[in-house]
Amino acid sequence: MPENRENKKEEKREAYKNQPFSFVKGGKHTDDGEIESHLEVEANMISLRKKKEIEKSLANFEDKAHFLRSSISLAKLATYCKTNIKYLSYYINKYKGVNFNHYINELRVNYLLEKLKEDPMLRRSKMSKLAKIGGFSSQNKFSTIFKEFTDMTPSAYIKKLNKEEEQGND
């Protein structure tokens, strides 16, 4: 019996020796011996049905402007989309082309840009009020993120809108 066990160990060692070795973290070998990266393997991570469900849920999330909630998180959005955070994060990265924080911030800034264009009265609001309307946790965070997306401070953008409106009325 011990001899049989030794034979099995030897067979495993031989089989292991014949396996190609990979230094690619998360990589796996394909049938032709090539190494497939972790990201390529994940390309098929989400089923088409799940992809469509997430897509539909995110469209609804955007239409209802739930991104304006300052408490929104990846976990809360995943619950809203009836999926897990891994699938949602993967979807946002792959199909939206950005990470979760960038996605939410972009939605918020675009929302405020539209509201400021449409509503001259809103332009008179304090920055802290605009930050709150946009779902930002603070006025500083709002100003920083707004400038990242527009290359202007919120104040400079509002001045620009007011100037354009004045010139349009001349």
Instruction: Read off the pLDDT of residues 99-110 as tens digits, 9 standing for 90 and up.
Output: 999 999 999 999
At how many degrees (to 10) do helices 100-118 and 139-150 cross?
90
CA angle 95, 98, 101 (to 5 degrees): 125
* Contacts with 138 (C-beta within 8 Å, 6 or more apart), sequence order: 131
Phi/psi of residue 19, each to 5°? Answer: -80, 135
Neighbour count for residue 79 (Cβ, 10 Å): 13
CA neighbor of 61 nearest in space, from 30, 100, 25, 24? 100
Residue 155 has pLDDT above 70, yes or no: yes
What radius of gyration do the chain's Cα atoms show? 26
pLDDT in tens, 94-145: 999 999 999 999 999 999 999 999 999 999 999 999 999 999 999 999 999 9
Residue 12 confidence (pLDDT) above 60: no
Q: Structural domains in the chain?
A: 24-97 (no CATH), 101-170 (1.10.10.60)
Half-sphere exposure of 40 (CA within 13 A, CB side): 10
CB neighbour list of residue 152: distance below 8 Å, 6 or more residues apart:
146, 160
Is 82 within 8 Å of 89 (Cβ atoms)? no
DSSP H or E run through 136: none
User: Confidence class of residue 65 from pLDDT cuts 50, 70 and 90?
Assistant: very high
The token pair that represents 128 in the structure block = 């802290």
Checking if the pLDDT of 152 tops 90, the result is yes
